[in-house]
Every structure is written in C-alpha cells, then in structure tokens.
C-alpha cells in the first residue's frame, strides 16, 4: 500500500512539472515560471504534510525521489561554479583597461560585504532585545542535547585556529584540489589563482603580445561555452525550485516551529530589516530599489529554497550582468567573495542573536557597551574567517560564541527550526553579494545605468 501512495506522489510531481513545461512552451516569462514552481512546491509539500505524518516512511521515500529534481538541480549548479568563476575572472581581468582597477574593485567588494555584516550584527542584537529572547525560555530535549554535544566537539577543532590561520586557508596550495571543491575555501582559492593567471596574461601581453593573444582567444572561446552551459542549467530553475520547496515544506517540523515561533519571528524580522537596509543603501547611491527588487527576486527565491549560497553563484553572476548592468569582472568577484565572506544572514544576524540570547544565562548584560562593541568587532573579523573553517551559520556561531566566552552547546536549542531560518539567511547572504557587486560597479563608474533601469532587462538569456 505504501508503494502505491509513493507512486501517486511521484505522479503528482510529474504533473506539476508538466504544468511548468506547458508554461515554458507558451513563452511565459522566466520570473513567472520561477514563482509558479515555488507555489506548486508549497502546495505539494503541504499535501504531503496533511496526507501523511512528517516522519512517515512514505514522506521519507517520496522526498528521496523529489530530491532528483530539487537537489539534482543544485548539484548541476555546483558542477559549473568552479569553471564559471575561473574562466569569468580570468576573462574579466584580461579585459581590464587598467590593472590597478583590480585592487580597487576587490577592496570595495570585500569592504561592503564585511561592513554590512557588522550592520547585520547590530540588527540581530536589536531584534533579540525587542523580542526579549533568552536561551532560558527554550526547553532542551534529547535532540537538542545531542546537537549541543556535537557542537562542543566541533568547536574543539576550531579553537586551535587563530584568525590569521583561518585567512591563510584562503590561499591555495594545490589548485587542482580546489578545483574539485574539496575545501570549504575552494571558491576563494580558485578566485585567487584566476586573478594571478589574469595578471600574468597582462604581463605577457606587454612583452609577448602574440602569445598573450593566443591565450586570450582560448579563454574567450571557453568562456562562451561555459556561459552557454550556465544558460542551459538556469532554464531548469523552476523545476529545481518545485522539488526543493516541496521537500522543505513536507519535512518541516510544524510543532517545533510553533514552540520556537518567537525566535523564528524575531529572526525573520531581523532578516527583513536588513534587506530593507540594503534597499536604503541602494537609494542613497541613486539607484531605484524597486527596480532592483523586481530583477533579483527570482534569484533570491532560488537561494531561499536551495539554502545554498555557493549553488546560487551562477544565478548571482547572471542577474548582475544581464539584469542590473553590473560590470562583468565586478559581478564575478562579488558573487565569488559573497558566497564565503561577510554573509549578512549566517555570519552577521544569526551569531549576534545567539550571543544576546545566551549572555544572560552567564550573568552578562548583552546590552552593555563593552559586550556589544566586542560582539560587533568579532563578527566583522569572523565573517572573514568563517569560510576558512567550513562555512555556514553553525561555524559562524561557534567562532563568535567561543570568542565571547559563551557556551556553544546552547546553540543546539534551535535544531528544529534551523532549516526554516536558514532559508531566509541564505537569501539575505545572496542579496548582499548582489548588492556589493552593484554598488562597487556604481562607485567605479562601470554600472550600465540604462540596463539597470530597463524593465525588460530581466534574465533575457534564461528565458529563451
């Protein structure tokens, strides 16, 4: 009988995929198909929640099959990340008018990412204080205790690393290893290697122009092919979002969310507040925030459902170049750095909220000036080092809490709502990457304002 129900669930998924295929054949816009996939995924996940229990074998097996569509799409995106980053950055550098622009570009991107992470920390503190969150308010069950012990064990491998050692992890020692994505810092390592290759080509161009041009022709050819692969993969986004959202909703622990509803609410208030701050910053720089929102929303929707900043890199690059008019080199740098440095949601808001919640259990006033200044500075520094120890909100929390001499085990209290909150955090992380690229391009006077304001310039290549 279980097998019959599983087959029915798979057939429903196939019917929904058929609806999306039909929309594509009728030339419905890419953005509308993305949101249709999102809506159908929510409906399908809700059906599984209502028809079966969350921990049933039927839901477990069904979501395994759905993962072929959802996680399979994320794997395709991850597959193209390294080739895309490498060839895009090399091509961008060899097309720079002045090599001095590279340093300015990198400095602005990293500066924006880290400074906004520190602002995000302030927002996280404010939200925790307004909602009066405290770790004492949450009951610890067996699952939470196990998670807390696991975090303490994981901390043991981190405590021996200083901030310089974490930053040192960015520098590649075996580029072929990093091309496999084996290390947490592989993307940044590939960025550094690609920058060196680009600079080397600029040097060869001055002394041996003929040799340089041969290499440039090869790079341009590979770039064209890689971008075509990216376009093919991105067309599958509506189907990937359908699968991802269906699984997320189907496996959501509703009881846990209700129990920790106050923390979930405070988290999303902080995430939305930081997103609004991003839009205000755009306005300060003379860019229309509403135009920006309309263009980036499909990308943020994918980041929300996939919970993968790295997996969203191809979309992050594409939306900057094709929709917002960001300079190609800036778009590639911002997407690559933003996936591992200065993440506003994971490295900014989340650790700050945990620190404010846990501090009172240790007799510390979380609103004292000394505590706040230390917390914000540590978050700014650790947002650089998070990728060096594995990346993600959990590692950011471990680094910040241990640096503030707070118990990390209490972070295990939130295990039941982690996936739900992580969706919003990832979307904010990706938005900050796009913001840093857009602002840097504007500051360096390389932003195509006409394309930015063009309402029709919305992922045209993907929609073909």
Average pLDDT in the 367-380 region?
Answer: 90
Does residue 224 register a pLDDT over 80?
yes
How much is the pLDDT for 261?
A: 77
40 band by pLDDT with thresholds 50, 70 and 90:
very high
Residue 394, domain extent: 2-463
With cut-offs at 50, 70 and 90, classify the pLDDT of residue 436: very high
Per-residue pLDDT of 92-144, as tens digits, reads 788 765 666 778 888 999 999 999 999 999 999 999 999 888 776 555 544 44
* H or E, element range at 151: helix 142-158
Tokens read off for 13 = 């998924």
Quick: pLDDT tens for 11-39. Answer: 999 999 999 999 989 888 877 888 899 89
Rounded CA-CA distance 4/216 in Å is 57
- pLDDT at residue 151 above 80? no
Residue 34 pLDDT: 84
Find the Cα–Cα–Cα–Cα dihedral 67, 72, 75, 79, rounded to 10°.
170
Alpha-carbon gap, residue 261 to 258, rounded angstroms = 5
Alpha helices in 350-392 (DSSP H): 350-358, 369-385
Q: What is the count of structural domains for the chain?
A: 1
Q: What is the Cα–Cα distance from 217 to 268, expressed in whole angstroms?
A: 48
Answer whether residue 463 shows pLDDT above 60: no
Span 73-92, pLDDT tens digits: 888 888 888 888 888 888 87
Burial per residue of 210-222, b for 16 or more beta-carbon CB atoms within 10 angstroms, e otherwise = eebeebbeebeee
Instruction: Report the distance separating Cα 123 and Cα 269, nearest Å.
Output: 9
Global confidence as pTM = 0.80
pLDDT at 273 over 80: yes
CATH number at residue 29: 1.10.3860.10
When pLDDT is averaged across residues 329-355 and rounded to a whole number, the result is 87
Strand, helix or coil for residue 362: helix
Question: pLDDT by residue (tens digit) across 188-205?
Answer: 788 888 888 988 888 888
Q: Which two tokens stand for residue 433?
A: 């990457």
Answer whether 94's CB lies under 8 Å from 219's CB: yes
């Amino acid at each position: 009988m279980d097998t019959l129900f599983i087959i029915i669930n798979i057939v429903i998924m196939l019917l929904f995929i058929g609806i999306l295929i039909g929309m594509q054949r009728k030339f419905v816009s890419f953005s509308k198909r993305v949101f249709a996939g999102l809506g159908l995924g929510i409906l399908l996940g809700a059906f599984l929640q209502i028809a079966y229990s969350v921990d049933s074998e039927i839901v477990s097996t069904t979501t395994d099959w759905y993962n072929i569509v959802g996680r399979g799409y994320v794997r395709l995106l991850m597959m193209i990340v390294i080739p895309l980053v490498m060839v895009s950055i090399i091509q961008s550098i060899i097309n720079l008018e002045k090599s001095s622009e590279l340093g300015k570009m990198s400095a602005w991107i990293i500066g924006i990412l880290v400074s906004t992470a520190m602002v995000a920390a302030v927002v996280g503190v404010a939200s925790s204080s307004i909602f009066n969150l405290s770790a004492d308010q949450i009951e610890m069950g067996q699952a939470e205790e196990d998670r807390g012990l696991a975090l303490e064990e994981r901390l043991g491998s981190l405590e021996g690393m200083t901030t310089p050692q974490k930053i040192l992890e960015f520098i590649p020692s075996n580029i072929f290893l990093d091309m496999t994505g084996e290390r947490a810092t592989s993307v940044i390592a590939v960025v550094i290697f690609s920058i060196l290759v680009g600079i080397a080509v600029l040097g060869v161009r001055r002394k041996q122009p003929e040799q340089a041009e041969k290499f440039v022709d090869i790079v341009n050819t590979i770039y064209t092919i890689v971008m075509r692969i990216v376009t093919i993969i991105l067309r599958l986004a509506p189907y990937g979002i359908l699968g991802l959202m269906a699984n997320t909703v189907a496996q959501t622990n509703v009881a846990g969310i209700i129990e920790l509803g106050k923390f979930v609410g405070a988290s999303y208030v902080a995430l939305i507040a930081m997103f609004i701050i991003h839009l205000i910053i755009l306005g300060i720089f003379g860019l229309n925030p509403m135009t920006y929102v309309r263009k980036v929303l499909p990308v943020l929707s994918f980041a929300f459902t996939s919970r993968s900043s790295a997996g969203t890199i191809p979309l992050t690059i594409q939306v900057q170049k094709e929709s917002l008019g960001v300079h190609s080199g800036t778009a590639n740098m911002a997407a690559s750095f933003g996936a591992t440095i200065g993440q506003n949601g994971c490295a900014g808001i989340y650790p700050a909220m945990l620190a404010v919640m846990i501090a009172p259990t240790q007799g510390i006033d979380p609103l004292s000036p000394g505590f706040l200044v230390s917390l914000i500075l540590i978050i700014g520094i650790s947002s650089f080092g998070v990728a060096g120890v594995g990346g993600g909100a959990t590692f950011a929390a471990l680094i910040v809490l241990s640096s503030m001499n707070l118990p990390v085990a209490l972070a295990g209290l939130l295990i039941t709502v982690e996936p739900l909150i992580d969706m919003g955090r990832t979307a904010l992380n990706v938005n900050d990457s796009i913001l840093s690229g857009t602002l840097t391009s504007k500051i360096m006077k390389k932003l195509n304002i006409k394309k930015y304001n063009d309402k029709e310039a919305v992922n045209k290549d993907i929609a073909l």
